[in-house]
C-alpha cells in the first residue's frame, strides 16, 4: 500500500469515527432540548462562541427560564456545530486526496466527491433546523443526512482497506448466492425506513406517547390519528391546519415506529441467521445479530424507563452502528464483477478438418 493510500485510509477512518460522534452528539443535543440553544446560524447571537455572547444569553434566559436558551444549552449546540464543521473540512481533504489517487481503484474518487455534496447539503439542513425552528421534516432529514455520510465513509474505508469484495456468484467457490445479496439490500432499505420512523418519532417528541410494552395504552390496537401524524410540511407540535397535534397523532407516530421495528428487526434477524450459516460470512452475521440485539434492548429500555437521556442517545448510537454493519454486510456481498468475455471454442467440423489436412499434403 502506497504512502498516499495509507494516509487516505487513515483520514477516511478518522472521518468515519468523527461522523459517529457528530451523529450521536447531535441526537444528544436534540434530546437535551438544546437545538435552539443558539437561535441563529452559524454563530451564537452573532458571536463565534457562547462565551462571547454570554451576557445576551443570560438576559434571554432570565426573561424565559423555561425556554430553550441557556448558557449550557448554547455550548452544547455550538460544540455540535464545531464538530460538524471539522468533519466537513476533513471530508474536503479526503476528496482532494482521492482525486489525486484517482488512478488507484481503492480510492473511489466519485464517492469521495459525492460526500462533499452530502456534507454541503447537511450544512444547509443544520442551518434550516435552527432558522425554521426545529421543523420535524428538516430535523429528520438532517439525521438521515448524517447517517448517509456515515454509510459512505464506511464504504470508503472498506474500499481503501482492500477488504474482500465481492463474495457473490458460484456457491461451489464458497461465495454467496444472489438471493442473499438481494436479502441484504432489502434489509438495509427496511433499516433506513425504520431509522426515518425513529427520527420522526424523536423530532415530534412522541417517544413517550406509549409508556407500556409490548402494548400501547394497554392495547395492541391503540386509538391513533394517522391522518395528522405523517403530514411532512408542518410546524413542530402542530397539524397541517395549524392546530395542536393530538395525543392520538403522537400515538400513531410511536406505534408506527414499533411496527416498523418488528418488520425491520425481523428482516435483519433472518439475514443474520443466513449469514451465520455460511462459513465465509459467519463473522458479519454474528456482528449483525449482536448489534440488532443491542438496539432492540435499548429501544425497550427507553420505553420502560421513560426515556432517560443517556439511553436515548445510546439508541441513536445503536442505529448508527447498525448502518455501519449493514454497509459492511452489503460490501462483503457485493455484486460480482463481470468476468472477461472469452469466445466459446467450437469443435472443428470433421469434414472441414479433413479437407484442410488434404490441402496441406
Give domain status of residue 66, yes or no: yes
Q: In the annotation, is 223 catalytic?
A: no
pTM: 0.87
Residues 152 and 204 both lie in one domain: no
Give domain status of residue 28, yes or no: yes
Q: What is the pLDDT of residue 162?
A: 80
> Are residues 302 and 315 in contact, defined by beta-carbon separation less than 8 angstroms?
yes
| Residue from 77, 243, 357, 358 carrying the catalytic annotation | 77
Entry field: residues in the chain: 361
Report how many domains make up the chain: 2
Domain boundary among 163, 193, 212: 163
Residues 26 and 70 both lie in one domain: yes
Give domain status of residue 283, yes or no: yes
Residues 328 and 213 both lie in one domain: yes
- Copy the grid coordinates of residue 260: 416498523
Q: What is the pLDDT of residue 352?
A: 45
Residues 159 and 177 both lie in one domain: no
Q: What is the pLDDT of residue 350?
A: 53
Residues 49 and 183 both lie in one domain: no
Please measure the distance between the N-terminal and C-terminal CA atoms of the chain and give it in whole angstroms. Answer: 58
Give domain status of residue 343, yes or no: no
Q: What is the pLDDT of residue 171?
A: 42
DSSP character for 168?
A: B
Residues 149 and 224 both lie in one domain: no
Residues 84 and 173 both lie in one domain: no
Among candidate residues 318, 321, 323, 307, the one with its CA nearest the CA of residue 30: 307
Q: What is the pLDDT of residue 133?
A: 85
Q: What is the pLDDT of residue 357?
A: 52
Residues 229 and 257 both lie in one domain: yes
Give domain status of residue 353, yes or no: no
Residues 271 and 172 both lie in one domain: yes
Q: What is the pLDDT of residue 335?
A: 44
Q: What is the pLDDT of residue 330?
A: 96
Give domain status of residue 347, yes or no: no
Cell 456534507 belongs to which residue?
Answer: 119
User: How do the pLDDT tens digits run along the chain, 361 residues long?
Assistant: 688 899 999 999 999 999 999 999 999 999 999 999 999 999 999 999 999 999 999 999 999 998 899 999 999 999 999 999 999 999 999 999 999 999 998 999 999 999 999 999 999 999 999 999 899 999 999 999 999 999 999 999 999 998 654 444 444 344 458 899 999 999 999 999 999 999 999 999 999 999 999 999 999 999 999 999 999 989 999 998 889 999 999 999 999 999 999 999 999 999 999 999 999 999 999 999 999 999 999 999 999 999 999 999 999 999 999 999 999 999 999 844 433 333 333 444 455 445 545 555 4
Residues 120 and 32 both lie in one domain: yes
Domain boundary among 163, 184, 201: 163
**Segment 104-145, tens digit of pLDDT:** 989 999 999 999 999 999 999 999 999 998 999 999 999 999
The C-alpha angle 184, 188, 302, rounded to 5 degrees, equals 130
Domain boundary among 135, 163, 191: 163
Give domain status of residue 17, yes or no: yes
> Are residues 95 and 112 in contact, defined by beta-carbon separation less than 8 angstroms?
yes
Residues 106 and 153 both lie in one domain: yes
What range does the domain containing 20 cover?
1-163
Residues 248 and 195 both lie in one domain: yes
Give domain status of residue 55, yes or no: yes
- Copy the grid coordinates of residue 48: 463565534
Amino acid at each position: 500500500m502506497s504512502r498516499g493510500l495509507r494516509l487516505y485510509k487513515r483520514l477516511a477512518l478518522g472521518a468515519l469515527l468523527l461522523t459517529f460522534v457528530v451523529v450521536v452528539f447531535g441526537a444528544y443535543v436534540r434530546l437535551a432540548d438544546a437545538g435552539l440553544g443558539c437561535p441563529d446560524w452559524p454563530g451564537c447571537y452573532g458571536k463565534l462562541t457562547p462565551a462571547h455572547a454570554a451576557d445576551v444569553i443570560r438576559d434571554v434566559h432570565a426573561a424565559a427560564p423555561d425556554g430553550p436558551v441557556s448558557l449550557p444549552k448554547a455550548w452544547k449546540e455550538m460544540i455540535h456545530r464545531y464538530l460538524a464543521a471539522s468533519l466537513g473540512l476533513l471530508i474536503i481533504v479526503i476528496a482532494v486526496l482521492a482525486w489525486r489517487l484517482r488512478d488507484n481503484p481503492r480510492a473511489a474518487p466519485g464517492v469521495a466527491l459525492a460526500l462533499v455534496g452530502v456534507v454541503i447539503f447537511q450544512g444547509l439542513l443544520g442551518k434550516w433546523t435552527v432558522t425554521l425552528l426545529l421543523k420535524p421534516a428538516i430535523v429528520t432529514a438532517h439525521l438521515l443526512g448524517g447517517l448517509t455520510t456515515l454509510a459512505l465513509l464506511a464504504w470508503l474505508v472498506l474500499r481503501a482497506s482492500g477488504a474482500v469484495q465481492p463474495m457473490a456468484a458460484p456457491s461451489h467457490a464458497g461465495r454467496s448466492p444472489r438471493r442473499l445479496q438481494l436479502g441484504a439490500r432489502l434489509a438495509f432499505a427496511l433499516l433506513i425506513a425504520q431509522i426515518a420512523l425513529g427520527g420522526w418519532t424523536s423530532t415530534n417528541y412522541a417517544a413517550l406517547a406509549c409508556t407500556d410494552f409490548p402494548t400501547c395504552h394497554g392495547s395492541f390496537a391503540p386509538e391513533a390519528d394517522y391522518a395528522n401524524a405523517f403530514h411532512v410540511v408542518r410546524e413542530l407540535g402542530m397539524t397541517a391546519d395549524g392546530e395542536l397535534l393530538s395525543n392520538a397523532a403522537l400515538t400513531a407516530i410511536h406505534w408506527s415506529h414499533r411496527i416498523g421495528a418488528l418488520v425491520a428487526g425481523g428482516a435483519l434477524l433472518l439475514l443474520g441467521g443466513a449469514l451465520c450459516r455460511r462459513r465465509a460470512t459467519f463473522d458479519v452475521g454474528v456482528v449483525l445479530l449482536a448489534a440488532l440485539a443491542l438496539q432492540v434492548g435499548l429501544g425497550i429500555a427507553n420505553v420502560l424507563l421513560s426515556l432517560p437521556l443517556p439511553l436515548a442517545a445510546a439508541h441513536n448510537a445503536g442505529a448508527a452502528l447498525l448502518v455501519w454493519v449493514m454497509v459492511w454486510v452489503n460490501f462483503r456481498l457485493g455484486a460480482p464483477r463481470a468476468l472477461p468475455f472469452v469466445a466459446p471454442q467450437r469443435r472443428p467440423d470433421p469434414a472441414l478438418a479433413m479437407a484442410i489436412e488434404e490441402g496441406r499434403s
